[in-house]
Amino acid sequence: MPISISKIINMTTSEDVTIEKLAEVVLMDQTLTSRVLRLANSVMYARRQKTGTVTEAVIRLGSSQLRNLAASASVLDAVFPKKSFPGFDWKEMWNHSVTCAVASQCAYSTITGAIRNTDESAFIAGLLHDVGKMVIAYALPMKFAEIVAKCCADDWDMNMSEKKFLATDHATVGAKLATEWQLPEKLQIGINYHHNPEAAPEEIEIARAVCAGNLLAKRLSKCYIFGQNWDVSLDQVGEAAQLSKPDVARVVSDTREGLMRCSEIISWGDNLPVPKKMAA
Ligand SMILES: [Fe+2]
Ligand SMILES: [Fe+2]
């Protein structure tokens, strides 16, 4: 991961960061600078005057939004495979990841009763929950193609197929990457236990939030594996998050609202490799 991005994630997780320090780090990274300016001038933040300075853009976005942006940029620029794989749609996976990020954050706020925007760890954990798939595709493209082919042919899920071909899975690989990147332990746990939150040794709330966010994202988005269909009930979401029906309904409506705020980040998916259809 580019140093500037890991710096921003760590700086914005600490309390005593100043806008000037943040702007200084953003300016060191060209891609991040252009994205920060683009987002600050996007519809959500548009004021009468456009901003051309990074300091002003950082003030507009706030540190939590900046952290989300840094994490999103890190996924795209550091590990995103530049090629497409038959049967696998990266753009839909990007949609899935951003939707999971928003849903995990909403679930986390409801689970912990925390005020939104004070701690956005669940957003980043949700965004990165499936990053292990990108690592596998990037590092072992042939194996990844086999894993996807098995999922398409026999309607297996990625976990099962990864275990068969690699004797590990994307949650474990993703958590190892988060450790390498020196992301906070809370994020490592959110990524590692997004399929089995109750096994988390600590920080179980974030594991439950990301698990519920992943299920809700599956319910709301299209599938990124060709030919597969996801059928997730709200009861399953509630069970994962250990939330009541009315709380789940609130998470769903908060997620829909949150997705509108993330439209700029979602649009980055337009630059991803074009999916190839499976041969009949
Ligand atoms: Fe997953
Ligand atoms: Fe997922």
Domains of the chain and CATH, by start: 1-79 (no CATH), 81-271 (1.10.3210.10)
How close is the Cα of 13 to the center of ligand 2, in Å? 24
Q: Which ligand is nearest to the CA of 214?
A: 2
Of the listed ligands, the closest to the CA of 225 is 2
How far is 142 from 136, CA to CA, in rounded Å?
A: 10
Protein residues placing their CB within 5 Å of the ion ligand 1: 130
The pLDDT score that the predictor gives to residue 280 is 46
pTM across the whole model = 0.89
Ligand nearest to the CA of 133: 1
Q: Which ligand is nearest to the CA of 104?
A: 2
HSE at residue 240, side-chain half, CA atoms within 13 A, is: 29
What distance in Å separates the CA atoms of residue 138 and residue 130, rounded to the nearest whole number?
Answer: 13
CA 96 – ligand 1 centroid, Å: 10
Angle CA 235–240–241, to nearest 5: 100
Contact in structure between 85 and 137 (CB atoms under 8 Å): yes
pLDDT score recorded for residue 276: 64
Ligand nearest, relative to CA of residue 132: 1
CA–centroid distance, residue 243 to ligand 1 (Å): 21
What residues does 85 pair with on adjacent strands? 88
The rounded distance, in Å, linking the Cα atoms of 128 and 205 is 17
- How many angstroms separate the CA atoms of 267 and 262, rounded? 9
Separation of CA 48 and ligand 2 centre (Å): 39
- Enter the tokens of residue 203: 């920080």
In the chain, which stretches have pLDDT less than 70?
A: 1-2, 13-15, 43-48, 115-119, 276-280
